[in-house]
Amino acid sequence: MKKNKGPSSRRAEILQLYQSYAADLPTLPACALLKFLHKEQMELTANEDTAESLIDRYEIEETAIESRSMTFEGFLRYMESKDCCVFNQAHTSVYQDMDQPLSSYFISSSHNTYLTGDQFVGKSHLDAYVCALRKGCRCLEIDCWDGSDMEPVVYHGYTLTTKILFKDVISTVAQHAFEVSAYPVILSLENHCCQEQQEVMAQYLISILGDMLLTAPLDHQAGDLPSPNDLKYKILIKNKKLKLQVKREDTSGAEESAGEGEYEDDDEEEEEDDEDHQTKAKFWSPRKAGSKKKEKVLVAEALSDLVIYTRSVKFISFSHSKDNQNYYENTSMAEMKARKLAKTSGPDFVKHNQKFLTRIYPAGSRTSSSNYNAQEFWNVGSHLVALNFQSLGLPMDLNDGRFQDNGGCGYVLKPAVLMSSERSFDPSCSKQCLKPTHLLLKVISGSNLPNSRTGKALDPFIRVEIHGIPSDSRRKNTHTVKNNSLSPHWDADMNFSISVPELCLIHFCVRDQTGFLSSEFVGQYTLPFTSLKKGYRWVPLRARDGCSLDPASLFVFVWYS
């Protein structure tokens, strides 16, 4: 028997499938392959041509090719290929409608993007911006403070985190902004600079970003935000903006030209992360924190002029926003406040997010740069759910899974349930629909799993988690297989009932049983329910840092209805 160069443990399972369709024939004819595609893989659009093109792609034995059939080795190559990955390969490119207003999308967003570690003594580094952008992040945070010699700096205020120059951050963004995605980048400025240094910032933004910087409104549907397509290759500045106070000339309603109006700062905007910086101020400089009120700094006109569609305003209430907020204004709120609103006013939050952009950021108390689970805020349609990209773990795995969709471009269209004007949606209400989706996941086997940190073979089990609205969120484990990293076999059926599948993420996690109640992370893979392929599929595995663990993988059977 020929030695199989690919993962070996699935060979037996795949051979069984092959034989059941080849019957007693020496090779699998195109018509039998087509039957397999229809019946097992649920490739309902497949036809004779599909089967023949698979033979041409994966079969290497001349006699089989000539007789339009497939040997077992060819079938194995097909089953181990991207064509049989659990993630729908059509979703590795942009396939969603990119002509909706920005408020119709989840947007990959980073918090304290400049940090590579914790928030007290961590390093600020330009590489952190490069890494975030390469992961498809489209909203970056820049924490700006006055530096020496009129050079604004970026760091976590009132802490010992290192400082980097604002101009270097902008140069890095200019260089890498559109490396993996053509869609707009939003620079969320947390601005603590004096007016003079803000003017320096504005000059850098204009001179370094050039044509990439959006400096004037576009010609588009009035009253709505422009779409990702409208804003391709553009960089938007999110910051406070001066209000134009226009004086009345006379009772006829004639007004002065805008140029002659008086500017005033938008006093409503709370300093984002204010509580955060107060925490730091108390921690590092008691005298500074004790002062009654920090001096209010106006936004410099030059910087204010660069804020077009992403003007930061203070969130007061959903009814206040409905009556007063403009479509080009957005609000930011800390996770605690957002969590409370999601629980008490879910439908209002969903409605609000249909029109206005909302940014959620981690609590100031998360000094170790830990993350929350973004799913709870995606459930209410929040767009810019910001995470510490440098902190690895489940929250970032889920974020990577969510934004792997739609070609990894950083923009994922929100499901219709979050955008409906007719029906209100409350994620905390468990009865969402009359007919839930039934999902069957059969975890068959694993292949080439990495050994434990001590070099010993694993005692592996698989945990499958569904992350969606609270009533859909579930977790199930297989049994543990002793001392087998190479080819563990579980054959475990898992059944889930899901009422809002279009919001769900499926998280596969391989764990090593290290004690009666203890286990360690080995590898994981996360994908949206809507990207799941039916049938016999393999699941790629990723390390904690998101890197591929190839050739390690799982073999599963997926069915839902």
Rg (CA), the chain: 27
In angstroms, the CA 108 to CA 374 distance is 11
Say if residues 68 and 79 touch (Cβ distance below 8 Å). Answer: no
Say if residues 552 and 523 touch (Cβ distance below 8 Å). Answer: yes
Q: Which residue shows structure tokens 């024939």? A: 25
Catalytic machinery residues: 111, 156
Say if residues 218 and 230 touch (Cβ distance below 8 Å). Answer: yes
Kindly give, in sequence order, each residue whose CB lies less than 8 Å from that of residue 49, ignoring residues fewer than 6 positions away: none
Kindly give, in sequence order, each residue whose CB lies less than 8 Å from that of residue 2, ignoring residues fewer than 6 positions away: 73
CA angle 441, 40, 449 (to 5 degrees): 50
Q: Directed axis angle between helix 126-134 and helix 166-176, to 10°?
A: 20
Kindly give, in sequence order, each residue whose CB lies less than 8 Å from that of residue 199, ignoring residues fewer than 6 positions away: 300, 302, 303
Q: Which residue shows structure tokens 């007789």? A: 67
- Find, among 442, 527, 426, the residue nearest to 478 by Cα: 442
CB neighbourhood size of 203 (10 A): 13
- Residue 443 token pair: 């975890």
In angstroms, the CA 136 to CA 92 distance is 13
Residue type, 365: S
DSSP lists the bridge partners of residue 142 as 189
Residue type, 383: H
Q: Which residue shows structure tokens 């999110």? A: 238
DSSP H or E segment with residue 322: helix 318-324
DSSP state of 408: G
Instruction: Sort strands 460-467 and 28-29 into parallel, antiparallel or unpaired.
Output: unpaired
Report the half-sphere exposure of 294 (CA within 13 A, side-chain side).
15
